[in-house]
């Protein structure tokens, strides 16, 4: 795993070195151009001066004496020069200057030559008179030495700053100290310690992360508490049916007549059916993962799926002597999870059938409104007291007077499905009679 501190130091050092290289390259290029320009101007001026001197000395018949004087006194010049006559006679040359032509150029201008394996810059000056050509040359090594000295002097302040990069590393280490503190705080936690992280003196850059971690701890704590309650309730709810099935099975084994045996076996079947229903509901709850299911939303007809669910449950309502109807015309296209919507409708309509006494009525209404699709399920049963309406959505909670079969998980599943669809559920009492109205509002985005 890469270290943030190491990554920052490596990045900064790389940028610093790249900056140094670019600056050095630019200074070398720029100073070389300017210094070469200055030296070229000097060469042209010196060539002109030597040409004038040579012409003057030739007119005075002293050019040979000038040459001897230059060589006798051993003057050292940073340049070499030659003056040639029109006939190709070397009239004048400086100390250290070869006797062969420095350059083969015969017109005025600059040229580059190699003398004894070294590069030289030559300026040629052309005269129409006796002194026909003047060559003045300077070694490139002299120019390059000056360029190096100039570039080094310019870069020296930046080079002297290099040791201060160590202070930069120390500053980065100090700046990342809160991250190490946060890592230490988290590493010391386990599932039994989900207390909030301290937020005092936390840097602004880390405050968002600390707040999100605290929010995560809070969600984990709530999830663990729900899990604890859930497992406790599951154990309690399954213990009674299992105990009943075992007791009835023993009773059937010990029965002395066929009637008692059949009665006990009937109770075994009922208890097993209840267990199967509880397990089915638990599996449904386990399959409801909000994030995963929201990503699988599709477009379907809410009216069509309502008709399908009612077709499956209408026979049970008719056997009980209930009148069940559907109000609202289709199609009603919505965006959501088709399977979960079917489970939601099935649980609510099944609850209405169980709660409504014989000769009662159940009405399912669908409406398309600006705020979103609305489902209403109204029954003529005893209803739910207002004091109990918040509790019925808790898992395994059943009304004290409820004797109908069930596990107490149906409305918990309904509420979870509604939350996945970002909707809401409300319970109310019909105006003219007893009963219950369950109203489900889908958001406008469901269209």
> Using one digit for the tens of pLDDT, what is the confidence trace for 136-171?
999 988 888 888 887 777 777 777 777 776 777 777
434, 376 contact by CB (below 8 A): no
User: 159 and 19 in one domain?
Assistant: yes
What are the beta bridge partners of residue 361?
323
Write down the pLDDT at residue 403.
47
User: 359 and 232 in one domain?
Assistant: no
CA distance 74 to 393: 113
User: 274 and 310 in one domain?
Assistant: no
Structurally, how many domains does the chain consist of?
3
User: 305 and 283 in one domain?
Assistant: no
Does 177 reside within a domain?
no
Closest CA relative to residue 368, chosen from 316, 332, 421: 332
Closest CA relative to residue 302, chosen from 328, 334, 346: 334
CA distance 110 to 178: 66
Give the domain-ending residue among 287, 317, 341.
287
Does 190 reside within a domain?
no
Does 81 reside within a domain?
yes
User: 340 and 298 in one domain?
Assistant: yes
Per-residue pLDDT for the chain (447 aa), expressed as one digit of tens each? 456 667 777 777 788 778 878 887 887 788 788 888 888 898 889 888 887 777 766 655 555 555 555 555 555 567 888 888 888 888 888 777 888 888 888 888 999 998 888 899 999 988 777 678 889 999 988 888 888 887 777 777 777 777 776 777 777 777 777 777 777 777 777 666 777 777 777 777 677 777 888 788 777 777 777 667 666 656 655 666 677 778 778 787 887 888 888 888 887 787 777 677 667 666 666 666 555 566 678 899 999 999 999 999 999 899 999 999 999 888 999 998 888 898 889 889 988 998 899 989 999 999 998 888 999 999 998 888 887 777 777 765 556 555 455 555 667 778 888 888 889 999 999 886 788 999 999 888 776
Does 191 reside within a domain?
no
Write down the pLDDT at residue 124.
92
- Cβ neighbours of 96 (radius 10 Å): 11
User: 131 and 71 in one domain?
Assistant: yes
Domain assignment of residue 236, given as a range: 204-287
User: 11 and 147 in one domain?
Assistant: yes
Does 170 reside within a domain?
no
CATH number at residue 152: 3.30.450
- Write the CB contacts of 28 (distance below 8 Å, at least 6 apart in sequence): 147, 151
Does 182 reside within a domain?
no
Write down the pLDDT at residue 396.
59
* CA of residue 342 relative to chain centroid, distance: 37
What is the 3-class SS of the chain, one letter each residue? Answer: CCCHHHHHHHHHHHHHHHHHHHHHHHHHHHHHHHHHHHHHHHHHHHHHHHHHHHHHHHHCCCHHHHHHHHHHCCCCCCEEEEEEECCCCEEEECCCCCCCCCCCCCCCEEEEEEECCEEEEEEEEECCCCEEEEEEEEEHHHHHHHHHHHHHHHHHHHHHCHHHHHHHHHHHHHHCHHHHHHHHHHHCCCCCCCCCCCCCCCCHHHHHHHHHHHHHHHHHHHHHHHHHHHHHHHHHHHHHHHHHHHHHHHHHHHCCCHHHHHHHHHHHHHHHHHHHHHHHHHHHHHHCCHHHHHCCCEEEEHHHHHHHHHHHHHHHHHHCCCEEEEECCCCCEEEECHHHHHHHHHHHHHHHHHHCCCCCEEEEEEEEECCEEEEEEEECCCCCCHHHCCHHHCCCCCCCCCCCCCCCCHHHHHHHHHHHCCCEEEEECCCCCCCEEEEEECCHHHC
Give the domain-ending residue among 143, 163, 183.
163
User: 358 and 297 in one domain?
Assistant: yes
Does 196 reside within a domain?
no
User: 126 and 25 in one domain?
Assistant: yes
356, 381 contact by CB (below 8 A): yes
Tens of pLDDT, residues 430-441: 886 788 999 999
Does 140 reside within a domain?
yes
User: 298 and 267 in one domain?
Assistant: no
């Amino acid at each position: 795993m890469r270290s943030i501190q190491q990554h920052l130091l490596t990045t900064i050092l790389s940028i610093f070195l790249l900056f140094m290289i670019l600056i050095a390259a630019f200074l070398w290029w720029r100073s070389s151009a300017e210094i070469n320009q200055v030296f070229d101007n000097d060469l042209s001026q010196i060539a002109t001066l030597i040409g004038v001197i040579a012409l003057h000395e030739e007119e005075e018949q002293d050019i040979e004496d000038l040459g001897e004087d230059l060589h006798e006194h051993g003057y050292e010049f940073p340049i070499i020069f030659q003056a040639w006559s029109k006939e190709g006679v070397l009239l004048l040359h400086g100390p250290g200057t070869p006797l062969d032509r420095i350059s083969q150029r015969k017109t005025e201008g600059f040229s580059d030559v190699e003398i004894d394996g070294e590069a030289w810059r030559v300026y040629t000056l052309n005269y129409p008179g006796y002194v026909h050509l003047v060559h003045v040359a300077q070694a490139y090594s002299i120019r390059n030495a000056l360029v190096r000295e100039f570039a080094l002097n310019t870069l020296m302040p930046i080079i002297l700053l290099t040791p201060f990069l160590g202070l930069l590393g120390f500053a980065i280490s100090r700046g990342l100290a809160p991250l190490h503190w946060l890592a230490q705080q988290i590493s010391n936690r386990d599932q039994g310690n989900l207390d909030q992280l301290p937020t005092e003196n936390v840097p602004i850059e880390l405050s968002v992360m600390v707040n999100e971690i605290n929010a995560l701890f809070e969600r984990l704590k709530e999830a663990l508490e729900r899990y604890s309650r859930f497992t406790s309730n599951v154990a309690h709810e399954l213990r009674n049916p299992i105990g009943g099935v075992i007791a009835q099975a023993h009773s059937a084994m010990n029965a002395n007549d066929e009637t008692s045996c059949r009665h006990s076996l009937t109770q075994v079947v009922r208890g097993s059916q209840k267990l199967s229903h509880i397990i089915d509901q638990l599996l449904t709850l386990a399959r409801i993962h909000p994030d995963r299911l929201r990503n699988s939303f599709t477009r379907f007809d809410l009216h069509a799926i309502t008709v399908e669910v009612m077709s499956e449950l209408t026979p049970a309502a008719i056997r009980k002597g209930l009148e069940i109807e559907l109000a609202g015309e289709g199609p009603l296209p919505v965006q959501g999870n088709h399977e979960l919507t079917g489970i939601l409708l099935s649980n609510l309509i099944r609850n209405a059938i169980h709660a409504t006494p014989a000769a009662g009525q159940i009405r399912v209404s669908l409406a398309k409104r600006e705020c979103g699709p609305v489902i209403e399920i109204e029954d003529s049963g005893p209803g739910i007291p207002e004091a109990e309406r918040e509790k019925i959505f808790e898992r395994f909670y059943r009304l004290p007077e409820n004797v109908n079969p069930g596990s107490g998980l149906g409305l918990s599943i309904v509420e979870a499905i509604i939350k996945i669809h970002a909707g809401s559920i409300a319970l109310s009492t019909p105006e003219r009679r007893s009963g219950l109205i369950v109203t489900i509002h889908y958001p406008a985005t469901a269209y």
